[in-house]
Amino acid sequence: MRYLISVIDDKDDPGSTDRQPAVSAFNERLIAEGHWVFAGGLADTDTATVVDSRGERTLFSDGPFVESKEYLAGVWVWEAPDLDVALRLAAEASRICDRKIEVRPFQ
């Protein structure tokens, strides 16, 4: 079973910025235990571009599709046998990243 793990940061109350070494070590463990599928941190929301081709013309617009205090700062994709395993890892991940985590299953 695959889960999307979203790391959520808060513009008014950002998590600490010194977490990279701990996150790297955690990734090593995810790989060793067979949970790791993908991981990536995201650039600032201001760098996003929204593309909409639903109409006749393709529209490009600057910025995130929704402005909010809380935003997606990075993602993991994990392989886990069930939600209990994913939640236990996510509890550790939240501590390690110093940020909130959302766990959502793939279809």
Partner 1 sequence: MNDDARDAVARAHRAEWARVVASLTRRFGDLDIAEEAAAEAFATAVRRWPADGVPPNPGAWLTTTANRKAIDRIRREGKRDGKHQEALMVHDDDPPEPAGAIDDDRLRLIFTCCHPALAVQTRVALTLRLVGGLTVPEIARAHLVRETAMEQRITRAKAKIKAARIPCRVPSAEDLPARVSGVLAVLYLIFNEGYLATGPGTGPLRHDLTAEAIRLTRLTRALLPGDGEATGLLALMLLTEARRAARVSAGGELVTLAEQDRGAWDQALIAEGHRLVRERLAAAAAGDAPGRYQILAAINAVHTSARDMRDTDWTQILALYDRLVRVDPSPIVALNRAIAVAELDGPEVALAAVDRLEDALSGYHAYHATRADLLRRLGRSRQSRAAYDKAIELAGNAAETAYLTRRRDQLR
Binding footprint of partner 1 on the chain (CB under 8 A) = 1, 81-84, 87-88, 103-105, 107
Q: Which is nearer to partner 1, 11 or 29 (CB)?
A: 29
Q: How far apart are CA 49 and CA 58, in angstroms?
A: 13
**Based on CB atoms, which residue is closest to partner 1, 25 or 87?**
87
d(CA 16, CA 98) in angstroms, rounded, equals 6
- State the minimum distance, in angstroms, from the CB of residue 22 to partner 1: 21
Question: Using alpha carbons only, how large is the chain's radius of gyration in Å?
Answer: 16
Give the nearer residue to partner 1 in terms of CB position, either 1 or 22.
1
In angstroms, rounded to a whole number, what is the distance separating the alpha carbons of residues 93 and 75?
11
